[in-house]
Each structure stands twice: as C-alpha cells, then as structure tokens.
Amino acid sequence: MSNEIFQSQSLNDWLFYLEQQHPTEIELGLSRIQSVADKAKLNHLNAGKTVLVAGTNGKGTTIRFIELALIELGYSVGVFSSPHLFTYNERVRVNGELLADSDHISAFDFVEQHKGNTSLTYFEFSTLAAFKLFQQHKLDFVLVEVGLGGRLDSTNILQQDISVITSIGLDHIDWLGNTLEKIAFEKAGIFKANNTAIIGEQSPPLTIEQQAANLKVKTTLWSGRDFTFSSVLECPKTWQFKSGQVVFEQLNSNFVPRQNIATAIQTLIELNIELTEGLLNKVIKNFSLPGRMQILCSKPLQMVDVAHNPHAIAYLSDTLASNDAFKHINGIHAVVAMMKDKDIKETLAIMVKSVSHWHIGELEANPRAAKAESIQAVLEDLGAKNVSVYSSVGSAWAQAKLEQQEEELLLGFGSFYTVCDILKNNNKEKRSL
C-alpha cells in the first residue's frame, strides 16, 4: 500500500476512496481495525454508556426506539447504523439529526492520518470515523449497530456496557454458518466480560448461553424469562410489558414488532432510565424509521419494507394478517427485487398465498442483484400467478400503482436497494405534481 495520504473536501470522493481501499468488500476480523483504533485512540468514545446491538432482524428498529426515548428525556445520543438508503450521512445520527458532509470528511481525514499502511474495508473505515465523531460530541449514550454477525464485526472493538441480540434467523450463511446455532454463536461473540447481555430472541439457540458463559458475562436477561410482553385480553389493541417489579400495563400497538420494543425497554431499564407508560406510548405513536413498514400512501394503501430474508418476511406476513390497519385489504400487488445471495425461494414462499399480483423489477447496475427472470422462475415454481417482469424497480412500482385497486395493498420489499429505488421513484412523482 502507498504511504500517500488521501485528501479531499468532497464526501463523494472520500466514499469512492473507501470503496477502493481493500481488495474485498467484506473481510471479517478485528486485527486491522483494532490496530488503527489503538493508534488513533478510538477505543473509548467519551460517552456515558454504550450499547452494541446485533441480530438478524430488528437491530435498527430496536436502536431507534431507544434513541427516541432517550432524546425525549433530554439525553444526548449518538447512533451508528447501516446500511443507508440514500446518503452515507444516514449512518451517523447525533441527537436524532444527520451530520454535515464536512463533519464526515473531517472524521475520514482523521482516520486516514492514523491508519498508516493498514488496509481497511469500507465498513471498518466508516466505523472508526463514526467513533471519532462520537468522541467529539461527548454524548450521554452511544448506540451502535453491528454490521454483519458480531464476533468478527468491526464494531466489536467497542467496549460496550450492554450487549443486545434482537433476533436469530438464517441470513448471511456464507459468512456466519448455515445453522441457527452457528449464527447465534457469531452474534453472541459481541458479549463482554462483566457486563450485561439482553436477548430479545424468544427461542434462542443454546450457543448464546454457552458464549455468555465463555465470555464471562455478568448478567444475561432473556425475553420470555426475565422480561415478557403479552396482549391484554380486555383490550386487543394494547399489550403489557413486565420485567421484575417494572410493569407497563397498557402499551399501544403500531407496526413496530413488540419483541423489538420489549427488548428496547429492557435495555433502557438496564441503562437506569426512569420510564413511564406515557413516555413509551408517545415514542410508539411517533415512531418512524425509513424503509421499515413505511406507509407511502394511505388511500389506496402503499407501503415499503426492507425485509429480505425468511425471518423478516414471516413477521411482515403475520402483521398483514393480524393488524387492524390491513383488515380491509383484498389483494396485494408486490413489487420485489432481491439479492442473489439471499434465500429467495424460502423468502418468497411465505408470501405466495397472500400476493395476488407480482411485479419483479431489475435492480440496474447492481452485481449482487438476482436477475428479474430468475426471481420470476422461482415464483412460478412456487405456483405464483400474475407474475410480470420489468426493466427496473421504478417501472415495476409505477405499473403496479396503475393496476392497484382501492381495496388492494401495494407492497414493496426484498432489499434496501429495492426500497431505495421505490422511494426515489415516489419522490420523483411527488416533485412532478
């Protein structure tokens, strides 16, 4: 590697530089990032408390709920999450706000000055830059989302106070293993000695408990044992949360998975945050996170979700079947594009009986994307009817909108890229009105 130090005042230039710095997009392991973090003194974030969140699905939602509750109570909060939908800036939030390009450029420059000849991946570089930004802001709390797996993920250099696992499902099997036990082992690798681990997964593989013992975790709190959530029979639209002596009896419902909210509440309790039912219901009411069960139009109902694996699609399907917001729906137009490294057949099989019309879009110029024709073949093999293929996700969405009837749902899902293309198309239409 060259000793020449890169410099630019353009964020796009920096992002292009990051993409070229390492021979592979993903290379799990902590040695490279740890060596640079040591040189740059980025091992400690100057924050009151830190939380590291792993999980197959629900990481972003759980972090967002914790973030909104803390901000509502007046605390300063930093968040590092990925991937982004539109701009890199989405990956770092401070007090709920995105930072300016110049802030990211300054942080990138700092990492560049300290990395020497170490070759960092895009994610390793951006993790260190985010940690530098958090150091500068001296925050009360920092919430960090694991990128891939946990044990060997860049974020695992963090010496967090609380470790969270939101859920365990089959995804990224080429990297994490092809069984739930192997995947759980990797995710539980974020645990640290003498701190607290919170497990939101209700059917956790034994490897999580084994890792907790191996890594000498002080306290492990399990959903279903140490904290619970359940429906209120007298009022089906509300639910209750219990954790020891802490009870919230009438929490409202929305599209956010209760499992994720319960995990977030337990994390807030472990952070010694004083919570009230009123505060929690306010956060539930105002909760939003782009791309997660995001309603684009209420009449007719149009929604997008980044669900891209069987675990996430199963929750989406259950929500469509059980939530009152969808009880009037008679037919679903699905706009879909997926990555070829995902379990396409198992994912789509969950929705085949529910979807009446399939609109498969090509994800242009994306080498990871599955070809629209290959998704069409999978659907037809599953017995799906009314399957159409389009040259782009945008054109698939536009045609589906034309065909959608008042009582039908238009739903886009399959990947972050799919949702991004739909949202871009939707925003273009709004600007042209």
Residue 48: the pLDDT is: 96
Whether 1 is in a domain gets the answer no
Q: What is the pLDDT of residues 278-326, one digit of tens each?
A: 999 999 999 999 999 999 999 999 999 999 999 999 999 998 988 888 8
pLDDT band at 345 (very low <50, low <70, confident <90, very high): very high
Same domain, 231 and 306: no
Whether 6 is in a domain gets the answer no
Whether 71 is in a domain gets the answer yes
Whether 4 is in a domain gets the answer no
Residue 4: the pLDDT is: 81
Q: What is the pLDDT of residues 162-186, one digit of tens each?
A: 999 999 987 766 777 779 999 999 9
pLDDT at 423 over 70: yes
Number of domains in the chain: 2
Residue 115: the pLDDT is: 95
Residue 430: the pLDDT is: 60
Element (H, E) at 110: helix 101-115
Residue 433: the pLDDT is: 43
pLDDT at 432 over 60: no
Mean pLDDT estimate for the chain = 93
Residue 376: CATH number of its domain: 3.90.190.20
pLDDT band at 223 (very low <50, low <70, confident <90, very high): very high
Residues 212-218: contacts with CB under 8 Å, at least 24 apart = 212/188, 215/188, 215/189, 215/191, 217/163, 217/191, 217/192, 217/193, 218/193, 218/194
Same domain, 133 and 174: yes
Same domain, 319 and 276: no
pLDDT at 160 over 60: yes
Q: Domain range holding 230?
A: 11-286
Q: What is the pLDDT of residues 73-91, one digit of tens each?
A: 999 999 999 999 999 999 9
Same domain, 206 and 319: no
Same domain, 308 and 232: no
Same domain, 264 and 348: no
Query: How long is the chain?
Result: 433
Whether 105 is in a domain gets the answer yes
- Contacts (Cβ under 8 Å, ≥6 apart) of 154: 30, 33, 121, 123, 124, 127, 147
The Cα–Cα gap between 245 and 12 comes to: 51
pLDDT at 1 over 70: no
pTM: 0.93
Same domain, 60 and 197: yes
Same domain, 60 and 155: yes
pLDDT at 144 over 50: yes
Same domain, 173 and 262: yes
Last residue of a domain, one of 270, 286, 302: 286
Peptide bond into 300 cis (omega under 30): yes
